[in-house]
Amino acid sequence: MNVRMLMLAIVVGLALVAAPAFAAYQEISVEQGGTLQGTVTLHGEVPKPKGYNLVSFPDPVYCGRISNGQGWRLLQPFQVGPKGEFQNVVIYFKRVEKGKPFKFTPPLIEAKDCRFEPYITVVRDPGNVKVVNMDPVMHDIQAYETSKHGARVLFNDPLPMSPKLRKQDLMAGKTVKNRAGKIMIEKVKMRRGRNIFAMQCGFHPYMESWGVAVKNPYYALTDEQGKFVIDEIPPGTYQVVAWHPMLTKEFTVTIEPNQTTTLDIEFEAPKGRLYVNEAQEQTRFGMELLGGSKIVPTVELQK
């Protein structure tokens, strides 16, 4: 191979490496767009919540204002109605090259009463997410991108509380209002093959927030009735994913011009023990370690 051919091969090889796997999403005027709608249900017994012994973690008295009355903080990943209506399931189109305008406001996740709200959200990739501390205690946000390829840290920062809040007032029995600290704006940029966003407090592990990072505007979260609607979809055949931190299904869906397609999704409830952390009847560490302090669920008595 002469020098000219060798240089040409190198240039072509570099171009192939540098080329993105898929073109960026293109905004167009969608003509004769279709709609996807449906209902997501969970069949079977709703799994038990995660359980955390509050004595084992910082701020048990304050965070224990939401607890089961026996010193345990519960975290229920499954929000399910009386007829199996599965709430906060993300429905999203895996790949859409072009379509309606992608209008996106970065989500705001609040650390309030030692709980991240909302528990499930959607973030844009690349984009930003906002996090704010409403509590009179310190939180540390640790966020990851994850998938079958493994996890990678996105950001890890302390979450400052409002200077107007004084923890000693709370400990003295005074009424303390939730006040916003500085809003932290964090960048979300996923590596190839990863699209799941997970965030946890480094001090209080029962504080979790999950989400999907999307690259197009064709997504929805199911409401309290388990329903979703996605509109202005260019006609064609797509891969659609129904995602929850504990369950996932994928479907092939064809969208016809000016037509509404119905996709009803049924999940079977997982059985057996799902987590390492579950509330127990007997605990190794008891309330006596708090001295004269008590864990009283004044905000919410969990069951």
On the question of pLDDT at 279 being above 90, the answer is no
Looking at residue 9, its pLDDT comes to 39
CB of 61 closer than 8 Å to CB of 293: yes
Which is more confident, 40 or 294?
40
pLDDT tens-digit profile of 59-113? 999 999 999 998 999 999 999 999 999 999 999 999 999 999 999 999 999 999 9
pTM for the model stands at: 0.84
pLDDT tens-digit profile of 195-225? 999 999 999 999 999 999 999 999 999 999 9
On the question of pLDDT at 40 being above 80, the answer is yes
Q: Which residues, in sequence order, are CB contacts of 243 under 8 Å at separation 6+?
A: 89, 90, 91, 92, 196, 212
Which is more confident, 100 or 1?
100
Q: Which residues, in sequence order, are CB contacts of 77 under 8 Å at separation 6+?
A: 47, 49, 50, 119, 244, 245, 246
The full set of domains in the chain, from first to last, is 25-97+220-303 (2.60.40.10), 103-215 (2.60.40.420)
- In the structure encoding, which two tokens stand for residue 3, read together? 């020098």
Q: Which residues, in sequence order, are CB contacts of 5 under 8 Å at separation 6+?
A: none
Q: What's the rounded Cα separation, in Å, for the pair 261 and 56?
A: 50
Helices then strands, each counted (H, E), the chain: 3, 25
Which is more confident, 104 or 193?
104
